[in-house]
Structure 1
Amino acid sequence: MSAATTSSLKPWPYAAGYENTPEVLEPTPLTVKGTIPPWLEGALYRSGPGTFDLKSESGKDIHIQHWFDGLGQIHRYEIQKGGLVSYRSRNTSDDLRKRYEKAETVTGVTFCNRDPCKTIFQKFFTTFKIAAVGGPVMSGTDTNVIVMPTLNFPGLKEDVNGRKESSDQPKNIRNLVVTTDGNAIQEFDPVTLEPIRLFSYGDIDDALKADNLTSAHPCIDQETGEYFSVLLTFGPTSLYKVVRIKQSARGPTHEPDLDVLAEIKSPRPTYMHSFCLTKRYVVVAHWLCDFASWGLSVIWYGNAWESFKAQDPNTKASFYVIDRHLGRHVATFECDPYYAFHTVNSFDDGDDIILDIAAYKDHTVIGDYYIDNLRDEVNGKPTQQAVLRRYRLANITKHASLSAESHTEPKPAPAEIVFQLDPSINFELPSINPSRYQYNYRYVYGVNRSGLNNTPIYDRIIKVDIDKIKLGDQKEAATFWMEDQCTPSEPVFVKTPGATEEDDGVLLSIVLDGARHTGFMLILNAQTMKEIARADMPEGKVAPHNFHGMFAPNMRD
Structure 2
Amino acid sequence: MTSTQKTASEKPWPYAAGYDNCPEVLEPTPLTVKGTIPPWLEGALYRSGPGAYDLKSESGKDIHIQHWFDGLAQIHRYEIQKGGLVSYRSRFTSNDLREEYKKAEAVTGVTFCQRDPCKTIFQKFFTTFKTATLGGPPIAGTGTNVAVIPTANFPGLMDKTDPNKTNSGSKGGLRNLITTTDGNVLQELDPVTLEPIRLFTYGDIDDSLAASNLAPAHPCVDPETNEYFTVLLTFGPTAVYKVVRIRASPKGTHHEPDLDVLAEIQSPRPTYMHSFSLTKRYVVVTHWQCDFAGWGMSVLWYGNAWESFKAHDPKVKASFYVVDRMHGRHVATFEADPYYAFHTINAWDEGDDILLDISCYKDHTVIGDYYIDNLRNEASGKPPQQAVLRRYRLSKISQHAAHSKVSKKTPPKPAPAEIVFQLDESVNFELPTMNPSRYLKSYRYTYGVNRSGLNKTLIYDRIIKVDLEKVAKGDQKTCATFWVEDQCTPSEPVFVPTPGATDEDDGVLLSIVLDGARRTGFLLILNAQTLKEIARADMPEGRVAPHNFHGMFIPSTIA
TM-score tier, shorter chain, comes to over 0.9
Match status 1:461 vs 2:477: no
Partner of residue 416, structure 2: 414
Partner of residue 98, structure 2: 97
The amino acid across from 1:211 in the alignment is S
Cα gap change, 1:401/1:28 in structure 2, threshold over 3 Å: closer, same or farther?
same
State how far apart, in whole Å, the 1-side matches of 2:135 and 2:47 are: 32
Partners of 2:121 and 2:302 within 8 A in 1: no
State how far apart, in whole Å, the 2-side matches of 1:123 and 1:230 are: 28
The amino acid across from 2:383 in the alignment is P
Question: Percentage identity across aligned positions?
Answer: 78
State how far apart, in whole Å, the 2-side matches of 1:12 and 1:419 are: 38
Partner of residue 36, structure 2: 35
- Structure 1 residues 344-381: Cα deviation after superposition (integer angstroms, max 9, x where no partner): 00000100000100000000000000000011122210
State how far apart, in whole Å, the 1-side matches of 2:172 and 2:417 are: 44
- Structure 1 residues 311-348: Cα deviation after superposition (integer angstroms, max 9, x where no partner): 11100000000000000000000000000000000000
State how far apart, in whole Å, the 1-side matches of 2:279 and 2:330 are: 14
The amino acid across from 2:78 in the alignment is Y
The amino acid across from 1:116 in the alignment is P
State how far apart, in whole Å, the 1-side matches of 2:380 and 2:69 are: 21
Partners of 1:12 and 1:455 within 8 A in 2: no
**After the TM superposition, which segments of 4 or more aligned residues of structure 1 sit over 4 Å from their partners?**
164-167
Partners of 2:121 and 2:301 within 8 A in 1: no
Q: Report SS of the residue matched to 1:294.
A: helix
State how far apart, in whole Å, the 1-side matches of 2:70 and 2:268 are: 28
Match status 1:197 vs 2:213: no
Q: Report SS of the residue matched to 1:303.
A: coil
Match status 1:24 vs 2:29: no
Q: State how 1:80-95 maps to structure 2 within 5 Å.
A: 80-95=81-96
Q: CA deviation at 1:99?
A: 0.4
Q: Report SS of the residue matched to 1:89.
A: strand
Cα gap change, 1:436/1:128 in structure 2, threshold over 3 Å: closer, same or farther?
closer
Partner of residue 429, structure 2: 427
Partners of 1:12 and 1:454 within 8 A in 2: no
Partners of 1:50 and 1:544 within 8 A in 2: yes
State how far apart, in whole Å, the 1-side matches of 2:330 and 2:156 are: 24
Q: Report SS of the residue matched to 1:268.
A: coil
The amino acid across from 2:441 in the alignment is Y
Cα gap change, 1:226/1:146 in structure 2, threshold over 3 Å: closer, same or farther?
same
The amino acid across from 1:516 in the alignment is R
State how far apart, in whole Å, the 2-side matches of 1:294 and 1:133 are: 19
Cα gap change, 1:12/1:526 in structure 2, threshold over 3 Å: closer, same or farther?
farther
Cα gap change, 1:548/1:132 in structure 2, threshold over 3 Å: closer, same or farther?
closer
Match status 1:241 vs 2:278: no
Q: Report SS of the residue matched to 1:510.
A: strand
Partner of residue 554, structure 1: 556
Q: Report SS of the residue matched to 1:39.
A: coil
* Unmatched segments (≥5 aa) in structure 1: 1-10
Partner of residue 119, structure 2: 118
Q: Report SS of the residue matched to 1:384.
A: coil
Partner of residue 9, structure 2: none
1:475 to 474, 477, 480: 477
Partners of 2:167 and 2:173 within 8 A in 1: no
Q: CA deviation at 1:489?
A: 0.3
Q: CA deviation at 1:172?
A: 2.1
Partner of residue 494, structure 2: 492
Partner of residue 52, structure 2: 51
- Structure 1 residues 10-34: Cα deviation after superposition (integer angstroms, max 9, x where no partner): x972100000001000000000000
Cα gap change, 1:93/1:120 in structure 2, threshold over 3 Å: closer, same or farther?
closer
Partner of residue 5, structure 2: none
The amino acid across from 2:523 in the alignment is M
Partners of 1:276 and 1:284 within 8 A in 2: yes
Partner of residue 149, structure 1: 150
State how far apart, in whole Å, the 1-side matches of 2:477 and 2:237 are: 47
Partner of residue 6, structure 1: none
**Which has the larger displacement, 117-126 or 375-384?**
117-126
Q: CA deviation at 1:404?
A: 1.0
Q: CA deviation at 1:130?
A: 3.6
State how far apart, in whole Å, the 1-side matches of 2:32 and 2:93 are: 26
Cα gap change, 1:166/1:546 in structure 2, threshold over 3 Å: closer, same or farther?
farther
Partners of 1:166 and 1:191 within 8 A in 2: no
Q: Report SS of the residue matched to 1:441.
A: coil
Partner of residue 450, structure 1: 452
- Structure 1 residues 508-536: Cα deviation after superposition (integer angstroms, max 9, x where no partner): 00000000001000000000110000000
TM-score by length of 2: 0.95
The amino acid across from 1:489 in the alignment is S
**Which has the larger displacement, 490-499 or 12-21?**
12-21
State how far apart, in whole Å, the 2-side matches of 1:127 and 1:374 are: 29
Q: CA deviation at 1:160?
A: 3.9
Match status 1:384 vs 2:385: yes
Partners of 2:507 and 2:528 within 8 A in 1: yes
Q: State how 1:116-515 maps to structure 2 within 5 Å.
A: 116-126=117-127, 128-130=129-131, 132-134=133-135, 136-160=137-161, 172-406=173-407, 407-515=409-517
Q: Report SS of the residue matched to 2:69.
A: helix
Match status 1:540 vs 2:542: yes
Q: CA deviation at 1:485?
A: 0.7
- Structure 1 residues 104-140: Cα deviation after superposition (integer angstroms, max 9, x where no partner): 1000000000011222431442254245413553110
Partners of 2:340 and 2:363 within 8 A in 1: yes
Q: Report SS of the residue matched to 1:172.
A: coil
Q: Report SS of the residue matched to 1:76.
A: strand
Partner of residue 3, structure 1: none
Cα gap change, 1:19/1:426 in structure 2, threshold over 3 Å: closer, same or farther?
same
Partner of residue 106, structure 1: 107
State how far apart, in whole Å, the 1-side matches of 2:402 and 2:357 are: 26
Match status 1:70 vs 2:71: yes
State how far apart, in whole Å, the 2-side matches of 1:530 and 1:132 are: 54
Partners of 1:433 and 1:495 within 8 A in 2: yes
Q: Report SS of the residue matched to 2:297.
A: helix
The amino acid across from 1:362 in the alignment is D
Cα gap change, 1:43/1:319 in structure 2, threshold over 3 Å: closer, same or farther?
same
Cα gap change, 1:136/1:302 in structure 2, threshold over 3 Å: closer, same or farther?
farther
- Structure 1 residues 183-224: Cα deviation after superposition (integer angstroms, max 9, x where no partner): 110011101101111100001111100000001000000100
The amino acid across from 1:455 in the alignment is T
State how far apart, in whole Å, the 1-side matches of 2:40 and 2:226 are: 25
The amino acid across from 2:61 in the alignment is K
Partner of residue 4, structure 1: none
Cα gap change, 1:337/1:160 in structure 2, threshold over 3 Å: closer, same or farther?
same
Aligned pair count reads: 545
Partners of 1:358 and 1:388 within 8 A in 2: yes
- Structure 1 residues 71-94: Cα deviation after superposition (integer angstroms, max 9, x where no partner): 000000000000000000000000
* Unmatched segments (≥5 aa) in structure 2: 1-11
State how far apart, in whole Å, the 2-side matches of 1:124 and 1:188 are: 32
Q: CA deviation at 1:171?
A: 7.0
State how far apart, in whole Å, the 2-side matches of 1:276 and 1:136 are: 34
C-alpha RMSD of matched pairs (Å): 1.8
Q: Report SS of the residue matched to 1:438.
A: coil
The amino acid across from 1:459 in the alignment is D
